[in-house]
Amino acid sequence: MIFQARPNPIEEFLVVLGFWDHLLPGFLIMLWLYGLALVMGFFLGLILAILRQYGGRIFSRVATVYIEIVRGTPLVAQLLLLFYLPTSLNIPITAWKLEVSLTLLDKDMTITLLNQATLTGIITLGLNSAAYQAEYFRGAILSVGDGQIIAAQSLGMSRFSGIYHIVLPQTLRRVIPSWSNEAAYLPKYTVVVYFIGVKELFREAYYIITNPYISANPLTVYIVIAIIFLIMISLITKGLDILHKRTGIPGL
Amino acid sequence: MLELINVWKSYEDLQVLKGISFKVLEREVKVIFGPSGSGKSTLLRCINMLNPPDKGEIFLRGINLNKPETNLNAIRSRIGMVFQHFNLFAHLKAIDNVSIGLRRVKGLSKEEARIKALETLNRVKMTKWADHYPAQLSGGQQQRVGIARALAMEPDVILFDEPTSALDPELIGDVLQVMLDIAKSGTTMIVVTHELGFARAVASEMIFLGEGTILERGTPQHFFTSPKSERVKKFLEQLDILYGGHEKLLELSNGEENK
Amino acid sequence: MITMLFQLDIGVVSTITIPIIVFITGMYTMRWYAKKKGWDDSIKTAFIVNIILFVLNIPINLLFYFLFGDNLVTDLISLIINIIIGMMAVMILYKKKFRDSFQFVFVIQLILFLITLVSSFVIGFILSLILFPDLTFNTIIIIWDIFSLIIINGLTTTLLLTVLGLLGGFVLGLSLALMRVYGGKELMWFSSGFEKLFRGIPILVLIFIFAFGMPELFWFIPHPLNRILASVILALALRSAAYQSQIFRGAILSVNLGQMEAARALGMSRIRALRHIILPQALRLAVPGWSNEYAVVIKDTSFAFEVGIIEMTKWAYRYGTNYPELWALSMSVLAITYFLFTFPVTKLFGEKQTKKLKALGIGGG
């Protein structure tokens, strides 16, 4: 019944693929956001987890508060908060941007690497991811056990040295299964920035649908986007799985 | 060389150590034993200041460990520790476990550390397993690596925290053998253990720790021929039964039947 | 730092009070830190060091400010010079070596920076309370305004979406989990595929697919807006099912293996054993993961406003578009509202439950 109005799904599919010159930049932007947010979340999250475990009463509390608040509030609220923060503080936003152009198969594409919206998006996603990654790291640090750092200290290592040389390597290896979870599913959350105008994959889809000169079935477009995400996530999961098996140390 | 003066320590509301004092001279082997919960592990962790005492003072070669300006990391590199649960660094091979202290704390070069580590592994008879990870070693093997790790730092004294309590019976022998060897070669040791056979062989002095205080102390001969307090006598009896003193066990069960 | 003070329109009062506060706290912090490291802990030394820092730093900072203007670079240069002067003062007066002095000064500078930040906010707040009581009072009223607006108008829809989404996810998820643990190969494949599918699609895309991609899906619902509502609930339920399936699968598997054996040995059929022995324990074990899922779903409902559903986020958004200056405030209030609904639940039913359960002997493979 639903498919009645679409006599030829394959044709529709091809029409959508015809817009690859819009989809590709969107996809690349999504990768860009994902990559930066993941890296930012990794380092910040690791620092937060270490502070939470070894930081002493004050820093430990601060880290915990940050993690609980970021994890307890919706991504949308965080994004809009950071995006409209300059407006609230009466700081004017200049329209600056950092662009990259490339031409492929006779189609010109410009990719905006950075502008106000994109930067806000990256920072929000990074700060958000950091809180979730911090929880994974915390679990891994706890599973290392405190016997390790006691042994390190008994040799005369400073606390810092013990954390850096003994606990950290083990934590990083132990965290791979749960961290892969976050790493694989983070691309999904990059979609949220479409709302503030970043031209990532979903926004491009929106453009295709709302363009008055093109007739494309909205459902097909969304399904194509969904499939792209599915493929990407499966690839990342598989890749991290292989990495996990390759870097195995007996006993970790 | 190592001196404890009136050490007190409590956890929450519980007084674990109540005024412990003793001296350890160079090349001495002190064996501390007693019922569990009497604070033996806590005592060791006070000595290397992993858990500083609430009151009292500890001196290592004249240096007061309780003063805030003492560099505790440097002190700890001169006090070795062997743990009940080995605590080997799981991500490092045996040889790296032994050499990491030398490299990161004592500042030896990679080559020098490696040579010294191999030497020490040789002493504990683990050279063959130098490239194995802890998970690939049996408990006894892991503990021997643990001893090597402490030994390689050439400490003034090595603390042993129930080193064989977590081992299967067959593996205990090897570890005790290594400990005997290093005791005979002149290492200063403080050993918390139930292995009284070991104590009888090499201990210079035995200390019975009960309810946080030293209840009795003396040479091994003293303890095994004529212990003074009832408590100590009872404890030794129980240990005897544990390690296969059948006669005592039979006596007891016969006594129960005849009641 | 100094330019920040001049910009505060609260007046000369704050320009004087804040440096004094920073100086005094700085002095005591320095003494505390020195004592902690076992150095000279007299207040006199701390006082002298701080006086030197103060007296030498201010003219140098002002010099740079006037020469090069107030921007990030001058701030940085001033900071570096402060640190150098501080280090020299510490080295001389505390008689410590280079590395120790550097660490000391660095930490003190950090602490002083935070103290300055915090105290300027606090003093600013207190002063504005005293000098402009209406302003602060107004702000509090506005916050309450936004909060009640969001809750009164949006909470019911948000809760509706959450409850129905979770419920759908529960029924579907539990079935999938049972399929995967006790079903045959085909059921396993189906369940596994379902999970992968609905975990791999962004929730927003899923919502759009059902709301705008398949508008005829809920043809039997008269009101078009309610059709969108139903689509959103469907999307939430499907996604939640995929995650709940994993939670329940994990919970079922971590019920002690011996339990099923013992039940069968008593003569119970598999289904009986499931119903009376395994599931009760599994459901209790699933509580922590499930409370987490609840938090996820209620946060996901915030995406619904982008397809036209009027729930809490939409109201906060409306408020922001109407009063652009209050964007940050309304978004913060929104965030805190969600937080009030997620934090207590996850704290109450989270990790502590796992410990209690382990103590009772339930779970642990």
Q: Where are the beta strands (DSSP E) in chain B?
A: 2-11, 14-24, 29-33, 55-60, 63-64, 79-82, 157-161, 189-192, 205-210, 213-218
Chain B residues close to C38, C-beta within 8 Å: 67-69
Residues B50, A153: C-beta atoms closer than 8 Å:
yes
- Per residue in A184-220, pLDDT (tens digit) is 889 999 999 999 888 888 988 888 888 777 677 788 8
pLDDT of residue C207: 93
Same domain, C78 and C186: no
Chain B residues close to A161, C-beta within 8 Å: 104-105
pLDDT greater than 80 at residue C21? no
- Give the list of residues 6+ apart from residue A232 with CB closer than 8 angstroms, or none: A187
Domain boundary among C75, C102, C131: C131
Q: Is C208 on the interface with A (CB under 8 A)?
A: yes
Asked if A178 and A135 count as a contact pair (C-beta separation under 8 A), the reply is no
Same domain, C222 and C121: no
More confident residue, A46 or B52: A46
More confident residue, C5 or B198: B198
Within a domain: residue C365?
no
Indicate which CATH number applies to the domain containing A174.
1.10.3720.10
Q: Dihedral of CA B246/B249/B251/B253: which sign?
A: negative
More confident residue, C177 or C108: C177
pLDDT of residue C314: 92
User: Minimal CA–CA distance to C325: which of B105, A98, B83, A87?
Assistant: A87
Residues A222, C209: C-beta atoms closer than 8 Å:
yes
Q: Which CATH superfamily is domain B17-45+159-259 in?
A: P-loop containing nucleotide triphosphate hydrolases (3.40.50.300)
Same domain, C152 and C279: yes
pLDDT greater than 70 at residue C10? no
Question: At C160, is the pLDDT very low, low, confident or very high (cuts 50, 70, 90)?
Answer: very high
Question: Helix, strand or coil for residue A61?
Answer: helix
Asked if B162 and B193 count as a contact pair (C-beta separation under 8 A), the reply is yes
More confident residue, A67 or A217: A67
Residues C324, A84: C-beta atoms closer than 8 Å:
yes
Same domain, C121 and C240: no
Chain A residues close to B136, C-beta within 8 Å: 250-251
Mean pLDDT of A132-137: 93
**Distance of residue C38 Cα from the nearest chain B Cα, in angstroms:** 5
Q: Cα separations (Å) of A155 from A151, A232, B142? A: 7, 46, 17
Same domain, C127 and C143: no
| CA C145 remoteness from chain centre | 23
Domain boundary among C131, C159, C186: C131
Asked if B130 and B121 count as a contact pair (C-beta separation under 8 A), the reply is yes
Number of domains in chain C: 2
Same domain, C118 and C254: no
The string of DSSP codes covering C129-148 is HHH-HHHHHHHHHHHHHHHH
pLDDT of residue B257: 53
Within a domain: residue A93?
yes
Same domain, C110 and C148: no
pLDDT of residue C133: 67
Chain A residues close to C216, C-beta within 8 Å: 1-2
Chain A residues close to C213, C-beta within 8 Å: 218-219, 222-223
**Distance of residue C276 Cα from the nearest chain A Cα, in angstroms:** 32
- Per residue in B57-111, pLDDT (tens digit) is 898 888 888 887 778 888 888 888 999 888 888 888 999 999 988 888 888 899 9
Residues A155, B76: C-beta atoms closer than 8 Å:
yes
CA gap C65, C59 in Å, rounded: 10
Domain boundary among C83, C113, C131: C131
pLDDT of residue C102: 76
Same domain, C81 and C147: no
Q: Is the ipTM of this complex over 0.95?
A: no
Residue A188 lies in domain:
29-203
Same domain, C54 and C39: yes
Q: Which residue among C302, C320, C339 places its CB closest to the CB of A76?
A: C302
pLDDT greater than 70 at residue C14? no
Q: Please tell me which chains touch B, using 3 or more CB pairs under 8 Å as the contact test.
A: A, C
pLDDT of residue B259: 46
Which residues sit opposite B208 in a β-bridge? B33, B216
Residues B100, A155: C-beta atoms closer than 8 Å:
yes
Chain C residues close to A182, C-beta within 8 Å: none
Average pLDDT, chain C: 80
**Neighbour count for residue B187 (Cβ, 10 Å):** 21
Tokens of C245: 């399936």
Same domain, C103 and C14: yes
pLDDT of residue A131: 95
Same domain, C253 and C272: yes
- Percentage of chain A surpassing pLDDT 70? 92
Within a domain: residue C107?
yes
Count Cβ atoms within 10 A of the Cβ of residue A176 and give its class: 0-12 exposed, 13-18 middle, 19 or more buried. Answer: buried
pLDDT of residue B191: 93
pLDDT of residue C350: 79
Per-domain boundaries in chain B? 17-45+159-259
Within a domain: residue C321?
yes
Q: Which amino acid is it at B129?
A: W
Low-confidence ranges of chain B (pLDDT < 50): 259
The string of DSSP codes covering B135-193 is GGS-HHHHHHHHHHHHHHT--SEEEEESTTTTS-HHHHHHHHHHHHHHHHTT--EEEE-
User: Minimal CA–CA distance to C104: which of C182, C54, C37?
Assistant: C37
More confident residue, C132 or B201: B201
Residue C252 lies in domain:
138-360
Same domain, C225 and C118: no
Within a domain: residue A96?
yes
Number of domains in chain A: 1
pLDDT of residue B253: 59
pLDDT greater than 80 at residue A221? yes
**Distance of residue C198 Cα from the nearest chain B Cα, in angstroms:** 37
